[in-house]
Structure 1
Amino acid sequence: MTTLLNSTSGPPTREGTADGDRPLTLSVLDLIPVRAGQTTSEALRATIALARVAEAAGAKRYWVAEHHNMAAVASTNPPVLIAMLAAATSTMRVGSGGIMLPNHAPLVVAEQFALLEAAHPGRIDLGIGRAPGSDPVTSYALRHNGPETADANRFDEVVDNVLAMLAPEGVGLQLQGRSYPLRATPQAAGVPAVWLLGSSDYSARLAAAKGLPYVFAHHFSGEGTAQIIDLYRSSFRPSDQLAAPQTFLTVNAVVAETQEEAERLARPQLLAMVALRTGGELKAQLSVEEAERTVLAESHAALAEQMLTRWVVGTPETALAQLTELAGRFGVDEVMVHPVAGSSEHDPADRSPAREATLELLSRAAVRR
């Protein structure tokens, strides 16, 4: 397995471990934040730069989310972003965290990811979720009063349709007494790895029943993680896709040279999450300086403190120790870091120096262990 390495360093003398025996693999989740005064083009260039830093550092995979109509998030179309990021890198896996299946027809998803897999064989992950990834009005516009995949009761069936359509042999639709062949791409040589994602027990049960890998949204929910993972593992049924349960942990992280600086860099994202949870206005992400000047109401400050306890915010050594402890606690050997460090008013618009530093500082800490 790959351990996160510094881009300018050789292999570490000792890998970080989940429980002292298993190597700790680090991956990256990216929502492609857009900060005040930054264009979408600049945010995308910053993400491409971050992906290259992640790959040079040895990240196993790099996933982008699907969110819509949010001023602070440019990650609206995972297949387009995956094509860009996979073309800008060469070794790490690139995927969706995830495709919000209620927004899409199964054949469209299968076609998109079959093509991505054909273009970048062995490097594509298709993570699937059942949340809308948007507000109700935007969801309606996305689906144009459809597709039928929006019916939560049919999610199980829709997942099966995607899996079947991704298969190289395709599926046969029975029409007027004959079989009509349907393939996502004419001559597939392989299929992307399909993961189910969730923040409740529904997707855990479904992934276990279908023998698929599963990821719980610990970075977003942070509650009930152990119970959900245990449910997935204990209910897992081996399949053609997977012989044993496979999961990893997702964690919001900010790493800086000092604890004080890490907490300062975490504040813009923390304020955004407080606004999301309390019905506040969702704006482009504040700069670190603006966030410092923002005063929270006492009740909101308590919520921010409570959320921060589930994040990894600290120096390289303390952050790596926390990630290792979390991996051991939940019995995983892969942690997907969501680097949420904010940007200064003076940072270049097409880079995210503090997000890049989170990955690089973790690399150096791993080398020193």
Structure 2
Amino acid sequence: MTLSPLQLSVLDLVPVRTGQSSAQAVAASLALARTADDLGFTRYWFAEHHNMPAVASTSPPVLAAAAAARTERIRVGSGGVMLPNHSPLVVAEQFAALEALAPGRVDLGIGRAPGSDPVITQLLRMSGTTSDVERFPDHVRDIVRLASPDGATVQFTSGGAYDVHATPAATGTPEVWLLGSSDYSAQLAAALGLPYVFANHFSGQGLERALDLYRTQFQPSESLATPRTFLTANVIAAPTAEEADERALPQQRMMARLRTNKPLTPLETVEQAQAGAAEFDGLAASVMQSARAGWFVGDPATVAADLRAVAERWGVDEVMISPVAGSYDAEPMEASPGRVQTLVLLAAAV
């Protein structure tokens, strides 16, 4: 297989570091979106997570709208909206409005996971039948229809029909993607003829099987004739491998806290992570080592070569990077120099 030149995109969780306000974290992410736009990145997606001190990406459509208003050409959207938390009509309306705001450059990535702990999940899903995870395939179909210019028709048992449109006079449709890290999402994307993204940054387990299922079971749809997929990856590029390793520490320690049920905190600075190294041993250290093994961390030439290799191995021409570079104490709160640096260096190296 001959691949096209490698395209790069960005997945942003809007990280919040120690001492940083949500407003400062969002400002840093929107500045990063402008950088990605200027550098020629393909798309910029915001994830949905809730009640996490180190993550401010609670509302992808709001953040995507802000990014769209500050950029010119890059595609913006969600990676993803956790659909069981929301009414399909509300999601369709939000992204139809985004499509009107930024015609031809809106992506609606949809996921099935809750994006939070059980308590928050219960609060988010106090909306009756829309929160039924078993109806996830039906709700995806509903969104695809509702967000289209033709809208959808609700058929009542009495025989009556009611036309529903996410927006009254649509001329375009957001591009719908399914996200996942399991066989389920891959098979559903194939059955519906939708593009699919494997959440490799979160769980690299099962990648080969998921892509094989998606490609072999794919059924063409009106919007997509052949399978279309790409990968996500945690990435840090720095002028030296040593700096890249240092900037990886805060995110590694946050992952260890998450996986070992330690209290969650805002993202540490590099210096704070280095100072607390002794407290993470045993299982936590193992989690850190395991997570780091699947990341792409180093100087720009090495990271670019590794990303090209993984794209070639899995037959994709796009990789969506989650730039997880931490900050040093002296770096400004309103910016994320390590993440900006990752984008700048990779854009020049790929």
Which band: TM-score by shorter chain? over 0.9
Shift of 1:101: 0.3
1:196 aligns with 2:178: yes
Distance 1:349 1:234, change over 3 A: same
Stretches of structure 1 that go unaligned for 5 or more consecutive residues are 1-18
TM-score, normalised with respect to structure 2: 0.97
* Residue in 1 that maps onto 2:96: 114
Deviations 1:290-333 (A, max 9, x none): 00111211332122112111000000000000000110111100
Alignment of 1:15-30 (within 5 A): 21-30=3-12
- Tell me, what secondary structure is at the counterpart of 1:187? coil
Among 341, 345, 350, the alignment partner of 2:325 is: 341
1:160 aligns with 2:141: yes
Percent identity between matched residues is 54
Alignment of 1:151-190 (within 5 A): 151-175=132-156, 176-190=158-172
1:48 aligns with 2:30: yes
Among 241, 247, 255, the alignment partner of 1:273 is: 255
Among 253, 272, 275, the alignment partner of 1:293 is: 275
Contact 1:102/1:147 (CA < 8 Å) preserved in 2? no
Distance 1:51 1:279, change over 3 A: same
The separation in 1 between residues aligned to 2:312 and 2:29, in whole angstroms, is 30
Distance 1:289 1:20, change over 3 A: farther
1:149 aligns with 2:130: yes
Among 245, 252, 258, the alignment partner of 2:227 is: 245
The separation in 2 between residues aligned to 1:171 and 1:181, in whole angstroms, is 6
One-letter amino acid of the structure 1 residue matched with residue 135 of structure 2 = R
Contact 2:3/2:317 (CA < 8 Å) preserved in 1? no
Shift of 1:170: 1.2
The separation in 2 between residues aligned to 1:211 and 1:177, in whole angstroms, is 30
* Residue in 1 that maps onto 2:310: 326
1:303 aligns with 2:303: no
* Residue in 2 that maps onto 1:99: 81
Shift of 1:159: 0.8
**Higher RCO, 1 vs 2 (CA within 8 Å, ≥6 residues apart):** 1
1:36 aligns with 2:18: yes
Shift of 1:203: 0.5
One-letter amino acid of the structure 2 residue matched with residue 147 of structure 1 = G
The separation in 2 between residues aligned to 1:339 and 1:305, in whole angstroms, is 18
One-letter amino acid of the structure 2 residue matched with residue 281 of structure 1 = P
Higher deviation after alignment, 129-138 or 168-177:
168-177
One-letter amino acid of the structure 1 residue matched with residue 284 of structure 2 = H
- Tell me, what secondary structure is at the counterpart of 1:164? helix
The separation in 1 between residues aligned to 2:140 and 2:128, in whole angstroms, is 14
The separation in 1 between residues aligned to 2:310 and 2:128, in whole angstroms, is 39
- Tell me, what secondary structure is at the counterpart of 2:232? strand
Shift of 1:147: 3.4
One-letter amino acid of the structure 2 residue matched with residue 277 of structure 1 = R
Shift of 1:143: 2.1
Contact 2:3/2:315 (CA < 8 Å) preserved in 1? no
The separation in 2 between residues aligned to 1:20 and 1:321, in whole angstroms, is 16
* Residue in 2 that maps onto 1:11: none
* Residue in 2 that maps onto 1:365: 349
One-letter amino acid of the structure 2 residue matched with residue 81 of structure 1 = L
